[in-house]
Amino acid sequence: MSESSSPTGLHLAVALDGAGWHPAAWREPEARATELFTPGYWVDQALEAERGLLDFVTIEDSLGLQSDRYDGPDHRTDQVRGRLDAVLIAARVAPLTSHIGLVPTATVTHTEPFHISKSIATLDYVSTGRAGWRAQLSHPAENAHFGRREVTAIPIEDLLTPRAQATLIEHFDEAADFVEVVRRLWDSWEDDAVIRDVSTGRFIDRDKLHYIDFEGRWFSVRGPSITPRPPQGQPLVTALAHARVPYRFGARAADVVFVTPQDETQAASIVQEVRSEQEAAGRAGATVHVFGDLVVFLDQAGTPAAARRDRLDELAGDRYTSDAKIFTGSSAELADLLLAWRQAGLSGFRLRPATIPHDLQAITRNLVPELQRRGVFRPGYEAGTLRSRLGLSRPANRYARHP
């Protein structure tokens, strides 16, 4: 039985962000803080994830400096600030890896669908069918970096007011249209549009390139793309969601929705909400994975994770908090939690290593063998694309004439 069709198979990804998700991670003795802006650092993290047979890695990105504040820069100098472009990192990593899926973050608010579609399609070619994309909306402070449009900022304290919710719905509706345009551009070339017929001098069959003619409130895009249809047809689209409106966006637009439950009961409730939104969006028959996000501090080689977290918190000057549940303990205890949450309907997990390399290696070298012993994780990679590994079929081209 293939890994994608196994009834016991658990999907596992890691989220890569700098030296790790704890703000003091860069100060760990094993951290490679001087290498964060080098390609070799990111290649090494992806190779470690691949050694652990993980489904994919996501790579964080934004259009503003990292900040402890939602609404603007915090001006701190004791935490990692600055990033390389996630899509370009993935393109550098792709030729040096063989199996791991590569899912960079690219922001939708101040970019154009045409550019994102071309970048991710190119990544799919470079990785031979292992590309994905995490679609992310901009934070309010990022708006100041761009002068081409006005975006209504929502103060976090007003987030639950009716006016703010209406604005939020508008932002996510725009994001859903953005993803729809990207998907249509991926389909704007039929699979056999490139013919390379030397005898007739025809490189492409122009009848198999299509105008997408998308007309909406936010976008008017004719197409076609300048990049042929990607190897996967449709690279993986993912989104992080914390509440009803982004759940709706994920259910409508994504193949994988990352969510942040705090316990098994909440996990079941969130999954049900995503499924309801999926049905309302007319995608009831589609496979939409719901992955639980957790920040992980894992015991390793006699080093208790709790003591390490306390030490890092002291260095940071405050107790670390996160949008996701923070797990601290052994790999066996984490395996117990993952399997319990899977019973709530989650099909996989995206783990955020608190520190790199410590917690990433604990995932790949301790947690994965523990899950393998329990018969719920693959013993090796099988040939195929990232979509096939997740049990997702290669979509038919919406513009092709099917007999």
pLDDT at 13 over 70: yes
| pLDDT one-digit tens code per residue, 104-134 | 999 999 999 999 999 999 999 999 999 999 9
Question: What is the Cα–Cα distance from 269 to 266, expressed in whole angstroms?
Answer: 5
pLDDT at 4 over 90: no
pLDDT at 76: 93
Mean pLDDT, all residues of the chain:
94
Torsion of CA 245, 250, 252, 254, to 10 degrees: 160
Max CA pair span of the chain: 71
Q: How far apart are the first and last CA of the chain?
A: 32
pLDDT at 79: 96
Question: What is the Cα–Cα distance from 144 to 151, expressed in whole angstroms?
Answer: 10
pLDDT at 5: 37
Work out the pLDDT band at 3, boundaries 50, 70, 90. very low
Domains delineated in the chain: 11-389 (3.20.20.30)
Distances, alpha carbon 299 to alpha carbons 107, 313, 355, 377, in Å = 34, 16, 12, 20
Quote the crossing angle between the two packed helices 264-280 and 331-342, to the nearest 10°. Answer: 40
| pLDDT one-digit tens code per residue, 350-371 | 999 999 999 999 999 999 999 9
| pLDDT one-digit tens code per residue, 238-248 | 999 999 999 99
Question: What is the Cα–Cα distance from 262 to 285, expressed in whole angstroms?
Answer: 28
Work out the pLDDT band at 155, boundaries 50, 70, 90. confident
pLDDT at 376: 97
Q: Which residues pair with 257 in a beta bridge?
A: 239, 290
Torsion of CA 18, 20, 21, 23, to 10 degrees: -80
Mean pLDDT highest for which of 146-150, 298-302, 348-352? Answer: 348-352
Q: Are strands 132-136 and 236-240 parallel, antiparallel or unpaired?
A: parallel
pLDDT at 6 over 60: no
Q: Which residue has the tokens 């492409």?
A: 204
Question: What is the Cα–Cα distance from 124 to 111, expressed in whole angstroms?
Answer: 20
The pTM for the full model equals 0.95
Handedness of CA 76, 77, 78, 84 (dihedral sign): positive
pLDDT at 2: 34
Range in 29-38, 58-67, 152-161, 208-217 the model is least confident about: 152-161
pLDDT at 71: 80
pLDDT at 303: 81
pLDDT at 358: 96
Tokens encoding 9: 């198979």
pLDDT at 150: 73
Distances, alpha carbon 361 to alpha carbons 15, 188, 232, in Å = 13, 41, 30
